[in-house]
Structure 1
Amino acid sequence: MAWVWGALIVLAVLIIYHHLIYLPVMLLLSRWRSRQSTDTAVTAASGDWPKVAIVMCAYNESDYIEAKLANLISLDYPADKLHLYIACDGCSDDTAEKIRNWQPRLDAAGLQLTLIDAPDNRGKLYRLNQLMDLAREHETFAALTDVSALISIDALQQSVAAFADPAIGALTSQYLLATPQPGEAQYWAWQNQIRRSESALGNVMGGSGAFYIMRTALFRPLPHDTINDDFMLPMSIIEQGYQVLLNQAINSVEMAPTSDQQDQHRRERIGAGNLQQLIRCRFLLRPSLLTSAWIFMSGKGLRTLMPFILLLFLLLSFALALNGSLIATGLSIAQILGYSLALLPEIGVRAGVLVKLNYLVRGYAASLKGMVAYLCGQYRQGWQPAAALHLYQSLSTRILKRLSDLVLSTLGLLLTLPLWPLIALAIKLESPGPVFFRQLRVGQIHHHRVELFHMIKFRSMGQFAEKETGAVWASRQDPRVTRVGKFLRKTRLDELPQFLNVLRGDMSLIGPRPERPEFCGDLQNALPFYAERTAGLKPGITGLAQVNNGYDETLDDVKHKLLWDHAYSTALSSPFQWLMMDLRIIGKTAWIMMAGRGQ
């Protein structure tokens, strides 16, 4: 077990170094190499001010756009040297209309405006590249800022004065929150301190999306799958041999409050982005960038790897504890106690230290989830427009989904075969007719054709149930259903023969419910995007809609299930999302069968 102890010691050193040693050392070094040039007072005459582009991408920013425009008009910078570039990226609210309503006030202030009101949503990165291509043709500097963030009134003056140093390629600001969540204020206070120290040592590792400004000549369009553009764009400037510094005199204040769910999603995305950055910032290994490489690897690098390090440290501690080590047992208990304390704020214990510990652990957990999602394929295709649903599915997801269909359906068929004779006997004893019921259903929809197939089920109605009525929706108290049929439907045992449909490739284990052709035309006319529910996706024995809704009795029922079907389709963008979704559906289906809650 010597190698296990060696690995445990290495991991312990990394944990202690990142959390307890690196920051004090960096803070001490930054005081020795403090750079006063980033706080240089503005002394240039008004006629010497260069042209500055203010670049913003907006998506449904109606709540903040007017406050942002008022903030930009009030900036202490010659208006004739400013040009405002805004892209409304397929906004479905009145953001663009409010910008146009402000046009007279912008004109009165002498502020030029270029507005791209795009009807299609292409993503921030696409619009950012589009706006920067326009800005670098006419302006010397480009200030990139979020709509929901207010910036210091002298932000541009301070920035332009600092750019008198030709070595500086970009500047960023201190980031503040107007309404921070518990733990956020302390976190960003630390982050601002870290960024000030990084700046004093030569380069800030990334910028703040709320506000950073760069020389337009240094702009390089980012790859379409870039996750954290406000990090990678400043890093591309460092790669070109320029410095990226923080100006302590410039503040950016985030107005939008962050909910716990939004914070969790943001941190997951940052975690995925950090892993991507770790891969793409290999240029820091140049001898001329050794200080920046040390800052990056000790800070963001280890922060990226820390969730894996902490998890591996816990597992190795458990392994050694099970082998009888008292030291490892103590370490295991200490870790369990620490993580347990971090969970106390989740149940209402809001002590200050515990809140900070909770924020740290939750951050690592969200980062781990984001990185695992990235490794499984999520985020790698970049932002994609809303298109046909089958385009959301990665090739790996489609392969794994079909493989799981074959394995699980074969297993399900073998395990349930002993029940088939008993079910068949019960059906025959109650009513005459065949044991199995075959019905034409709509399968997967392709670009040029629609698949039709005969779905197989155990018969749950009388032999000629629809002879007089024709095709009608099932209801909760359907008189056509036999007593045996009611039991089969409640336990979902009537659907067991559909394992054969799955093995034949007509269906999937999980997917939208297959509908009869008689109903599809009317439903498509009544509900937009109804047909797209099986675009590139096979219908399923069970699915997200089936476990959340019963049989379709009204058009509203179909509408609700349609939303679930499209929600499931969007979960197929990566193997990780697909796996998590399918496991939840399988678990809920098993519970419905055992509880007899089917219909």
Structure 2
Amino acid sequence: MKLVFWTSLVFVAYTYAGYPLLVWALSRLRREPDAAPEAVARWPSVRVIVAVHNEQDRVAAKIANLRELDYPRDKLRIVFVSDGSNDATNDRLAKEADVEVLSYPVRRGKPHALNTAVEAASEEVLVFTDVRQSLAPRALRYLVARLLAPGVGAVSGELVHLDPQTHAAAHIGLYWRYEKWIRKSESRLASNLGVTGALYAIRRVDYKPVPEDTLLDDFEIPMRILRGGKRIVFETRAQVFDELQRSVSGERLRKVRTLTGNFQSFARNPWLFSPLANPVFVQFVSHKVFRLFVPYALALLLVSALLLDGRGYRLAAGAQLAGYAVCALGLAWPRLREHRLVSFLVVFLELNWAAVLALGNFLGGRIDSRWEKT
């Protein structure tokens, strides 16, 4: 039982602290060449793709934002794909003369929308973004300049959250800053394990149609490029802005969908688990796989601590039970979540519970590529 306790403890500690510190330290030994937009002699043609479903209230603001981008206008093509919208989305898009609109009556899901937008594309670079977020004026230049660097196959922008209005949002934001710190280190060391779905760029020649039941296009598409020998990098200067989820339940829905997509991608890409086929095998297992099993390690940690004799084990069990009790109180009385510690613990618990729910969704076949607003 001691082996179970200490193995579980080391596993959780490595996943949340050991690996991030290790990849950060190793990344400091590597110097990343600067990809300055000023050094680009010829800007390639770009197709910006936005998939939407019933977004009548957002498309105008998104188009206005894309028109303000600092990129050669004769090299930029804006394409909206309306995935079975049945509100006023199509009518509002039809009024925009400089926007290409692709639409079809039956909702098919985001992967089908992306495949449709890319199928007839002749532009050299594809940029994918969502309707909700706004891009910084020079975001495209930074994305493309980085993509033109030798060995780079996909470039992720940086999602910047606006000032949170609640403590729950603040601690979701804290988690996201922690995640970005890891991604920056992974990018500098070797390669990222996916991109920010709100903004990323690839070359047209590297795009392969994704299966229509795919949940995570922002993982599947770049990881195929990684398998082909190119890097996925994180460009912090290519910023895209969004608001945080203000409720834990909203973040739970988003996280459950994302983690369900992870299980789906793992099952259909077994090469990811081969050290010979996956050039970032250690990063993949440490960052993507281990986190999905932290909830079970925490359960083993608690059970083994309760069964073992000794003051240290009793303290460990007591601390874990106290944390769960605080979370339960925070969920029962929302006002308690105004306290930072309570809010942080609730978010941590919810994120791990989302991993359990995601596994249940995947094993139960509850997969739907038609995204819903959260």
Fold in common (TM above 0.5): yes
- Indicate which of 15, 22, 45 corresponds to 1:51: 45
Q: Distance in 2 between matches of 1:256 and 1:360?
A: 16
- Residue of structure 2 equivalent to 1:569: none
The 1:257/1:313 distance shift into structure 2, 3 A limit, reads closer
Q: Is residue 174–residue 246 contact of structure 1 (8 Å, CA) maintained in 2?
A: yes
Q: What's 1:241 paired with?
A: 229
Q: Distance in 1 between matches of 2:370 and 2:238?
A: 34
Conserved 8 A contact 1:42-1:157: no
State the Cα distance separating 1:282 from its structure 2 match: 3.7
Question: Aligned AA for 1:55?
Answer: I
Shift, 1:375, TM fit: 1.4
| 1:302 matched residue in structure 2 | 290
Contact map agreement 1:176 1:252 (CA 8 A) in 2: yes
Give the superposition deviation at 1:344. 4.2
Q: Which deviates more, 146-155 or 184-193?
A: 184-193
Does residue 27 (structure 1) correspond to residue 12 (structure 2)? The answer is: no
Displacement after TM superposition at 1:36 (Å): 3.1
- In structure 2, the CA distance between the partners of 1:362 and 1:65, relative to structure 1 (3 Å rule), is same
Equivalent residues in 2 for 1:543-558 (5 A)?
none
Q: Identity percentage over the alignment?
A: 27
Is 2:324 aligned against 1:336? no
- The one-character-per-residue Cα deviations of 1:82-134 (angstroms, maximum 9, x if unpaired) are 1122111111221122212232xx3xxxxxx3211211111111111121212
Give the superposition deviation at 1:204. 1.1
Larger relative contact order (C-alpha < 8 A, sep ≥ 6)? Answer: 2
Q: CA deviation at 1:248?
A: 1.4
The 3-state SS of whatever aligns with 1:68 is helix
Q: Which letter does structure 2 place at the counterpart of 1:44?
A: V
Residue in 2 that maps onto 1:449: none
- Residues 521-547 of structure 1 show CA distances to partners (whole Å, capped at 9, x for unaligned) of xxxxxxxxxxxxxxxxxxxxxxxxxxx
Structure 1 contact 173–246 (Cα < 8 Å) conserved: yes
1:65–1:212 Cα change, 3 Å: same
The answer as to whether partners of 1:178 and 1:257 remain within 8 angstroms in 2 is no
Which of 75, 83, 95 does residue 77 from structure 2 map onto?
83
Shift of 1:171: 0.2
Partner of 2:158: 174
Deviation for aligned residue 1:288 = 7.1
Cα 1:255/1:61, change in 2 over 3 Å: farther
* Bigger Rg, which one: 1
Contact 1:55/1:86 (CA < 8 Å) preserved in 2?
yes
CA distance in 2, matches of 1:365, 1:62: 34
- 1:163 and 1:265 map into 2 onto residues whose CA distance is 32
Map 1:181-260; keep pairs closer than 5 Å: 181-255=169-243, 259-260=247-248
Q: Which residue of 1 aligns with 2:36?
A: 40
**How far apart are 1:211 and its partner, in Å?**
0.3
Which residue number corresponds to residue 440 of structure 1? none
1:368 is matched with 356
Contact 1:52/1:83, CA 8 A, preserved across alignment? yes
Aligned 8 A contact 2:227 2:278 in 1: no
How far apart in 2 are the matches of 1:297 and 1:167?
23
Question: Which AA in structure 2 matches 1:170?
Answer: A
Name the counterpart of 1:119. 105
Deviation (angstroms), 1:159: 2.1
Aligned counterparts of 1:43 and 1:72: Cα–Cα separation in 2? 23
Q: Hey, what's the Cα distance between the residues in 1 that align with 2:140 and 2:86?
A: 32
Q: Determine if contact 2:83/2:106 at 8 Å carries over to the other structure.
A: yes
TM-score, with normalisation over the residues of structure 1?
Answer: 0.57
Q: 296, 305, 310: which is aligned to 1:317?
A: 305
Distance apart, 1:212 and its partner CA: 0.2
List runs of 5+ in structure 2 lacking aligned partners.
none
Find the counterpart in structure 2 of residue 16 from structure 1.
13
- Matched to 1:331, the amino acid is A
Label 1:149 to 1:279 Cα distance change in 2 as closer, same or farther (>3 A).
Answer: same
Deviation at 1:353, TM superposition (A): 2.9
Amino acid aligned to 2:9: A
The DSSP-based 3-state class of the residue aligned with 1:122 is coil
After superposition, where does 1:537-548 map in structure 2 within 5 Å? none
Tell me how far 1:327 sits from its aligned partner.
4.7
1:269: how far off?
A: 1.1
Verify the 8 A CA contact 2:271 2:277 in the aligned structure 1.
Answer: no
Separation in structure 2 between the aligned mates of residue 7 and residue 257 of structure 1, nearest angstrom: 36
Does residue 1:293 correspond to 2:281, yes or no? yes
One-letter code of the match for 2:256?
Answer: E
Q: Which moved more, 1:330-339 or 1:70-79?
A: 330-339
- Specify the SS of the correspondent of 2:120: helix
With over 3 angstroms needed to count, the CA separation of the structure-2 counterparts of 1:280 and 1:14, relative to structure 1, is farther
SS at match of 1:209: coil
Q: Quick one: distance in 2 between partners of 1:278 and 1:315?
A: 29
Q: Does 1:6 align with 2:33?
A: no
Displacement of 1:222 = 1.7
